[in-house]
């Protein structure tokens, strides 16, 4: 249809393709009322997907009850030629994103007027029981007379209607509230948080949350305090800086209770111009002439698919995004998946080795505990792999042992992960300051399983938690790391009686780190290692996996 314009679609003549993804958006003419409108049509692929189709239609029905000066208007919705569609007012002007990025948003007072109008729209939307959940500059349109329209309710939620699947995160990651990242039920205060982030961006011209990966963004949202200095540098009055600080509080209860409070704090700079107000009245009068199935409404985004939204409604991205959401299900820096929880190790310099030499690594994830018997047993059953001796009888919460490094690598690969390098493993265990043990430099054998103690369940050694949140990196079991290590003559001689055929210096050898429950505490110093043949396994050698962060899409 995009290639054969103009085209007739019901009573609408489609004249210009404006863009789209799972929905196509057109400038069109209503041939009955002879006015220019915007028509959004679900694609054939979208219409064939039941979830996408239902969300599209539910979005239109929900928005049909909303009418406000600062909310885009819907004139019609339904199905034509088997394709769900929504018809809305055709807007001229630009979205606030383009105005801010281009420097055309005007001075502080003009930007404050835009913010006040947007806050009024959200005050009204919330009064109708709707949570928008995707507040960002792209979803605020400013016409030539300076009137702001709130757009894009594709991920909105009412008390009795959820337009996305249970457990899905929705919204654009830069503006997501901590509770959205956590997957909690959305409340109006997620919009208050996002609006605070938006105010920061309107007033400074830069994003409040910075990052190049989803994990970095989520970590900052959940744990890093918002840096307010760019607001001060931009000369924003203190009362608005304090308002933004309150709106973006990590604790929802510390934020303003409602948008009425936000509107009042923005000090109502005045209504739109008389010309704009008159235009609204004319549009409302025209809309009241529509009868039957044509619904008068306010709402809906002009370009749902044009703003780079981090939304889970497209067929092409659905599986990929589902996987990412599943991994970020619990509070970063912990990432959860079927193989267990992982902790985020922030990139940057750290002190490594006995001499504490400065090294630098990027961000990475590492398993919070050693891979357990239960996880490895399930993997063997799924993959049809032989199980290590004694695996069936072992307690499922214990670390898995008796695994060669090649078997460990196979497990990690099957989980979409890899073994950590020696430096990654050491940084996780020691933290950026280069501690001797995960808990610090204190010689305290009571914190872990060493010196002949029984092997402990992988998640039980919380007294040995590292600065980044991993458990049991000193003691309990040695851990394979992906670090080739040339053996010493003594190591070759030591393993000659343990392996048949005896090992040689030319075959692969790798490091294992962290000591074990059979060894004294000094063997658990985090920069130390032992050199082992790749084909060797033992009842006190296990492993944990690592993973690189996923890029933001």
Three-class DSSP category at 484: strand
For residue 489, cis peptide bond before it (omega within 30 degrees of 0): no
The overall longest dimension of the chain from CA atoms, in Å, is 94
198: nearest Cα among 310, 115, 304:
115
Q: Residue 202 in contact with residue 312, Cβ under 8 Å?
A: no
For residue 501, cis peptide bond before it (omega within 30 degrees of 0): yes
User: 188-200: string of b/e by CB count within 10 Å (b at 16+)?
Assistant: bbbbbbbbbbbbb
362: nearest Cα among 350, 374, 377, 380:
350
Q: At what angle do helices 238-247 and 188-204 cross, to 10 degrees?
A: 140
- What are 14's strand-pairing partners? 7, 28
171: nearest Cα among 142, 138, 129, 201:
138
Three-class DSSP category at 364: strand
| Dihedral-angle region of residue 78 (phi above 0 means left; psi in -120 to 50 means alpha; beta otherwise) | left
Q: In Å, how far are 43, 112, 268, 341 from 148, measured between CA atoms?
A: 29, 12, 14, 44
CA distance 213 to 38: 34
65: nearest Cα among 168, 166, 161, 172:
161
In the numeric block, which tokens belong to residue 68?
A: 């406000």
Give the active site residue among 30, 49, 69, 134.
134
CA distance 198 to 135: 8
First vs last C-alpha separation in the chain: 28
Three-class DSSP category at 370: coil
Look up 134 and say whether it is catalytic: yes
CA distance 100 to 451: 63
CA distance 353 to 382: 39
272: nearest Cα among 283, 262, 261:
283
Q: Is the dihedral of CA 280, 283, 285, 288 positive or negative?
A: negative
Q: Residue 203 in contact with residue 193, Cβ under 8 Å?
A: no
Q: Residue 512 in contact with residue 286, Cβ under 8 Å?
A: no
Q: Is the dihedral of CA 270, 153, 195, 250 positive or negative?
A: positive
Q: Residue 138 in contact with residue 97, Cβ under 8 Å?
A: yes
The catalytic residues are 134
């Amino acid at each position: 249809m995009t290639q054969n314009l103009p085209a007739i679609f019901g009573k609408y003549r489609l004249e210009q393709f404006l863009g789209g993804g799972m929905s196509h958006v057109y400038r069109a003419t209503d041939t009955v009322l002879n006015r220019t409108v915007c028509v959004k049509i679900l694609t054939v692929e979208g219409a064939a997907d039941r979830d996408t189709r239902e969300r599209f239609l539910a979005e239109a029905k929900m928005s049909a009850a909303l009418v406000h000066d600062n909310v885009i208007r819907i004139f019609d919705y339904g199905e034509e030629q088997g394709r769900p569609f929504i018809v809305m007012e055709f807007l001229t002007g630009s979205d606030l994103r383009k105005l801010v990025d281009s420097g055309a948003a005007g001075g502080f007072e003009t930007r404050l007027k835009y913010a006040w109008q947007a806050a009024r729209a959200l005050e009204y939307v919330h009064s109708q029981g709707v949570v928008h959940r995707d507040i960002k500059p792209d979803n605020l349109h400013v016409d030539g007379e300076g009137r702001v329209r709130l757009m894009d309710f594709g991920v909105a939620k009412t008390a009795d209607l959820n337009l996305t699947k249970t457990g899905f995160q929705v919204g654009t990651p830069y503006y997501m509230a901590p509770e959205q990242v956590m997957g909690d039920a959305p409340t109006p205060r997620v919009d208050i948080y996002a609006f605070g982030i938006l105010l920061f961006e309107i007033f400074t011209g830069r994003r409040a949350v910075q990052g190049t990966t989803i994990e970095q963004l989520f970590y900052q949202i959940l744990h890093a305090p918002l840096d307010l200095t760019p607001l001060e540098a931009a000369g924003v009055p203190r009362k608005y800086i304090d308002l933004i600080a309150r709106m973006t509080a990590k604790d929802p209860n510390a934020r303003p209770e409602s948008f009425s409070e936000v509107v009042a704090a923005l000090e109502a700079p005045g209504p739109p111009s008389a010309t704009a107000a008159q235009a609204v009245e004319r549009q409302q009068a025209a809309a009241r002439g529509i009868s039957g199935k044509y619904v008068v409404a306010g709402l809906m985004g002009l370009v749902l698919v044009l703003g780079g939204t981090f939304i889970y409604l497209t067929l092409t991205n659905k599986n990929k995004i589902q996987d990412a959401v599943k991994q970020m299900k619990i509070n970063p820096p912990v990432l959860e998946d079927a193989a267990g929880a992982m902790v985020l190790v922030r990139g940057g310099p750290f002190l490594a080795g006995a001499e504490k030499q400065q090294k630098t690594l990027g961000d990475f994830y590492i398993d919070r505990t050693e891979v357990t018997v239960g996880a490895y047993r399930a993997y063997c059953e799924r993959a049809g792999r032989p199980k290590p001796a004694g695996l069936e009888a072992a307690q499922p919460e214990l670390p898995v042992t008796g695994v060669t490094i090649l078997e460990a690598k196979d497990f990690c690969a099957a989980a979409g992960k890899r073994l950590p390098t020696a430096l990654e493993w050491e940084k996780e265990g020691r933290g950026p300051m280069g501690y001797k043990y995960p808990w610090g430099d204190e010689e305290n054998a009571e914190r872990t399983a060493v010196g002949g103690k029984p092997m402990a369940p992988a998640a039980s050694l919380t007294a040995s938690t590292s600065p980044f949140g991993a458990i049991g990196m000193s003691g309990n079991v040695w851990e394979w790391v992906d670090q080739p290590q040339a053996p010493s003559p003594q190591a070759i001689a030591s393993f000659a009686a343990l392996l048949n055929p005896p090992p040689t210096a030319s075959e692969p050898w790798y490091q294992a780190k962290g000591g074990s429950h059979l060894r004294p505490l000094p063997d658990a110093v985090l920069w130390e290692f032992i050199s082992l043949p790749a084909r060797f396994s033992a009842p006190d050698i296990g492993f944990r996996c690592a993973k690189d962060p996923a890029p933001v899409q």
